[in-house]
Chain A
Amino acid sequence: MTERKGTEIRVRGQVQGVGFRPFVWRLARDRGLRGWVLNDAAGVLIRIWGETAGFTEALRDEAPPLARIDRIETREVTENPPDGFEIRASEGGAADTRVTPDAATCPDCLAEIRAPGRRHGYAFTNCTHCGPRFSILRGLPYDRAQTTMAGFALCPACRAEYDDPADRRFHAQPVACPACGPRLWFEADGVELSGDPVALAVAALKRGEIVAVKGLGGFHLACDARDPAAVGRLRARKHRPAKPFALMAREADLDRLVRVTPADLAALRSPAAPVVLMPARGTLPGVVAPGIDTLGVMLPYTPLHHLLLDAFGGVLVMTSGNLSGEPQVIDNAEARAKLAPFADGFLIHDRDIARRLDDSVLRCDPPMVLRHARGRVPGVIDLPEGFADAPEVLATGAQMKGAICLIRHGQAMLSHYLGDLDDPLCLSEFERAIADYRALFAHRTSHVAVDAHPGYRASQIGRDIAGREGLPVTEVWHHHAHMAACMAENGWPLRGGKVAGIVLDGTGLGPDGTLWGGELLLGDYHAARRIAHLAPAPLPGGDRAAREPWRNAVMRLDQAGLALPEPLAALPVQVIRAAARAGLNAPLSSSAGRLFDAAAAIIGLCVQAQSYEGEAAMRLEALAGTAREAAEVEDQTDGPQIDPAPMLRMLCGPAPAAERARAVHLWLAQAFARRARKLIETGAAQAVALSGGCFQNALLLRLTLTELSGLRVLIHRETPANDGGLALGQALIASAQSM
């Protein structure tokens, strides 16, 4: 009778399409267990009979690299076991399981393409531990027929691997080889050239040409990063004068380019293979990242990248293949049409990209995610305690760095980066993504959360959806959402007490009708109130003030009663002063981002215009990084209005520019940290949350953390502090308010 007693194990999480069943199969066989394993709508279901001690621990400890286990539940069963251990056919739909993010080529596959054999030099080699997933997925359940591999029929050799539970390609949906899989070629002027495509591309790159490379989530434009003329040409063609370019380099070349920490290396080598920002060693031409002291580097993450880098032997600029502001190109015909003015040649293939995914960008010290995209999506965040019964919310995020968030079954799913919604193509992509994510996750939306700004397209789209489907809409204040996103990421419980939120940001609409952005808030998921803020100043010219730092400098200096330094005085300051006085397109704002812009302009950085978003602040941060200490700023009182006049007086003073730049960071960190500390000391708040786009500034974040030492501080590690993470906060606030 005893052998009829068995254990049923339910495994939830990201456990399908990652080789979990063969892993269980091997584990059970090694231990001589009887039973079976199958995929079903809830994840993986296992029944085992025999010596089961330590089995669930092994499930967790030895799980395949791409598996993410959320929960393991066990119960006893009594029935006759099968003779051995078997993998059974899948049951039911895949409604509650996870789609896996795309993953960088694994060591086994890499070894395979480098060694003699049938996949030698094959650019589309993959297995259950690596390869394309979300980027080739057309629908659920995840099997080959539902991916862009559907048109490639497996050859007998690949079929045998696919069917063999002992093979690492068992049920690897994109499995392929040169006999049956996608084909790579190189073309120029619309004509395919004969010869080894990788060798042709390398020859073009060596000639200083620009090559469009079809990657995982879209096309890149590549050129030799060590060739200033080639990089300059790419800048001129892309109309991108200064924005830093991302790089792709082999691990062996990293040390020459950047200072790499073990944490950086771990991030670079992770299956997500993001772009990691690291301190530059100054060995590349300045034109790669003008005026910035960091470089963003990623490792080759597809077999094609490995083949290309191995043959090229250098470092490549790998920037997204798009017209400025538009989404990255993914389709071959679209690439030929749109990238022809940029690219001299195309390294291209016939595996379609189903989903447009930019490269993710992050920094390890201090930890932050700047762009949440390829390799990180679709990932989920477990909701904090108290949100188990949260309704199925759809949150539509902000205008810039579009991203949506869905809540379902106690988890939040933050979408990939969808670009700035002013661009019509980004906007249609955004609308498609909403439909796509809702369908993929079988979301039965019951609430819609939007930013309170009536002019955000994301808010309009959210309202339209709610209107069409008869759903309630929750309007969320921008900076409350930033703060809530940070709390949520850190698992702050629904009833965890109040948090002091230091939200340093660009601009977002505040409840008083002015634009906020330099705020100390106190609150929870339900509500937050303003405790302190930067004294507001006009933004003359509205959004123009975000592009032209001099406007903010003039307003701030006027406010502080300081004279304009030479380069500012020569600009048409009378007109913007008059416009501000007349209230003509000069809304008031407490934005910290605009104060950074003002400071940069006073020091002489990006005075007239920024060529990309954040340029002035990034240059100011880079300059500050060269200073040992900060210039002195006189003391000030602790009122609810934080008056930047003392800091501005310092900026107009005689200290070296780098020390003044550093003092701007320190002053902001101290002004907010001091007030936040008081909220903790008086018992009003239990922790401090740091959020908003300004906290992408590593120096500001580091200094703020130092000022808050000894206190419980919540920071963004897994979701962007910028507007790309806003939807998460919106979703949590809407949930809290509806429960």
Chain B
Amino acid sequence: MALRDDKVTLAHGGGGKAMRDLIEEVFTSVFQPPGMEDQARLQAEALAEPGARLAFTTDGFVVTPVEFPGGDIGTLAVCGTVNDLAVGGARPLWLSAAFIIEEGTEVALLRRIVTSMAREAEAAGVRIVTGDTKVVGRGACDKVFVTTAGVGVIPPGRDMAAARVRPGDVALVNGVLGDHGAALLAARGDLALSTELESDCAALGHLMEAILAAAPNARAARDLTRGGLASALNEIAEAAGCGIELDETALPLRAEVTGMCELLGLDPLYLANEGRLVVFVPPEEAAAALAAMRTRPEGEGAAIIGTATPEHPGQVRMRTGFGGARIVDMLVGEQLPRIC
């Protein structure tokens, strides 16, 4: 083992041998990119199909704590970008990964993160083909920041877009909501909460393929990240120019998450997820989509949660248990109390 230090120092970012050792030991030996050039050179057969389109996305990841129950920043960095490609109807193929590392970060932590990334990438069927590392002084970042970019291919004839959602379409999610946000809140340690919750972090490419095979006319999908289901649905309602009506009793929620939300005064509809999506399909394909989702582990808890409506365009409403309804808003900054 050429790398002797157990913590990253500024020298590891200096461009000399220390840096080469770090990259080879920790990164390239695990990711095994093709060739040694500073760029990935990729075969584009998938694109050669007439009508196929290239999908390209990028995302930066910062999370506290860097490791949490059910994953770490590496899992997030792969799943997040894979999911961004997948919900647009693309088959994810290649990723890049850039790391900003804080001086003093444990090398062992980096190894764990990189291992997570390699494992997630393999499971998702994508390859990490290029990357970069930078080291910054203490306090200039928090342990490690990761940026991934992803390239995928949208097969000919596929056109997923929020604007295609129309009244009558059925909304489905692939599992319980808010696990990631709740697990992270608990993992922060300052809330005196002890839970068994784990992040829902998962790559959803295979799930999307299964959905599209069963529901070829699926209109649109969104991965539920920051802002949760509520924000994703508001974006869709806005883009589609129709209303969305949720059924509160149909929402898959874990008692532990709702209990925690009640204590903290939070709404699980706004909690972050990292392995959840919402997909809109025409009503006649809803049953097939639901069944297809349930065949996969990432879709075990799938449920039909609502429909798009011609009424109240642009607005998301939820029918509550007692036959009432409430408006599910787009979150504007921090929610200040409104009860006077």
Contacts and interface: CB of A to CB of B under 8 A. Distances in A.
B268 to A, nearest CB: 13
A318 B98 CA distance: 68
A144 to B, nearest CB: 34
Contacts of A326: 324
Contacts of B338: 399-400, 422, 453, 455-456, 507, 543
A722 B340 CA distance: 8
Given A325-B324, A423-B325, A453-B338, A541 B333 contact: no
B332 A507 contact: no
Interface stretch (B6-14, B99-107, B187-195, B200-208): B187-195
A572 B195 CA distance: 14
B264 A585 contact: yes
A549 to B, nearest CB: 13
A424 B322 contact: no
26 contacts: A324-B324, A325-B324, A341-B323, A400-B338, A400-B340, A424-B326, A453-B336, A454-B332, A455-B336, A506-B340, A515-B336, A540-B265, A542-B335, A542-B336, A543-B265, A543-B338, A544-B262, A546-B337, A575-B192, A575-B263, A577-B192, A584-B185, A587-B336, A589-B337, A693-B340, A722-B340
A582 B333 CA distance: 18
A505 interface: yes
Interface residues of B, number: 28
Contacts of A509: 336
A425 B311 CA distance: 12
B263 A541 contact: yes
Contact of A574 (B192, B327, B335): B192
Interface string A224-256: 000000000000000100000000000000000
> What 7 pairs between A and B have smallest CB-CB spacing?
A541-B265, A506-B340, A544-B265, A546-B339, A578-B192, A399-B338, A542-B265
A625 B141 CA distance: 60
A587 B327 contact: no
Interface string B132-148: 00000000000000000
A455 B332 contact: yes
Interface in A674-716: 693
A425 to B, nearest CB: 7
A478 B336 CA distance: 14
Given A422-B327, A427-B327, A453-B336, 18 more contacts: A323-B323, A326-B324, A424-B327, A425-B325, A455-B332, A505-B340, A506-B339, A508-B340, A515-B337, A541-B263, A546-B339, A574-B192, A575-B264, A578-B192, A579-B191, A581-B190, A584-B191, A585-B264
Contacts of B55: none
A323 B340 contact: no
Interface in A538-555: 539-547
B266 interface: yes
Max chain A C-beta neighbours (<10 A), residue from B185, B191, B265, B323: B265
Given A541-B263, A579-B264, A424 B192 contact: no
Interface in A486-510: 505-509
B340 A398 contact: yes
Interface in A47-94: none
Max chain A C-beta neighbours (<10 A), residue from B188, B326, B340: B340
A429 interface: no
Nearest to B260: A575
Max chain A C-beta neighbours (<10 A), residue from B266, B333, B336: B336
A424 B317 contact: yes
A576 interface: yes
B334 to A, nearest CB: 8
B337 A545 contact: yes
Nearest to A323: B324
Contacts of B323: 323, 341
Contacts of A398: 340
A26 to B, nearest CB: 50
Interface of B: 185, 188, 190-193, 262-266, 312, 315, 317, 322-327, 332-333, 335-340
Max chain B C-beta neighbours (<10 A), residue from A547, A584, A593: A584
Contacts of A582: 188, 190-191
A613 interface: yes
B193 A575 contact: yes
Contacts of A613: 339
A723 interface: yes
A515 B339 CA distance: 11
Max chain A C-beta neighbours (<10 A), residue from B263, B332, B337: B337
A31 to B, nearest CB: 55
Nearest to A576: B263
Interface residues of A, number: 53
Nearest to A551: B265
B190 A585 contact: no
Contacts of A542: 265, 335-337
A456 B266 CA distance: 18
A507 B335 CA distance: 14
B266 A585 contact: yes
Contacts of A539: 337
Given A575-B192, A575-B193, A575-B264, A424 B339 contact: no
A723 B339 CA distance: 10
B337 A507 contact: yes
A612 to B, nearest CB: 12
Contacts of A577: 192
B191 A575 contact: yes
Nearest to B326: A422
Contacts of B312: 424
A323 B322 contact: yes
A454 B333 CA distance: 10
B337 A543 contact: yes
B337 A424 contact: no
Contacts of B191: 575, 578-579, 582, 584
B339 A507 contact: yes
A547 B323 CA distance: 21
A358 B326 CA distance: 21
Contacts of A341: 323
Interface in A193-250: 239
A585 B265 contact: yes
Contacts of B317: 424
Interface string A604-625: 0000000001000000000000
A546 B125 CA distance: 50
B265 A545 contact: yes
B322 A239 contact: yes
A20 B58 CA distance: 75
A505 B188 CA distance: 35
A724 to B, nearest CB: 10
Nearest to A547: B339
Interface string A453-480: 1111000000000000000000000100
Contacts of B193: 575, 578
A342 to B, nearest CB: 11
Contacts of B332: 454-455
A460 to B, nearest CB: 9
A693 B332 CA distance: 27
Nearest to A572: B263
A334 to B, nearest CB: 13
Contacts of A581: 190
A581 B189 CA distance: 12
B325 A578 contact: no
Contacts of B315: 424
A593 B322 CA distance: 28
A589 B338 CA distance: 12
Interface string A531-574: 00000000111111111000000000000000000000000101
A341 B324 CA distance: 13
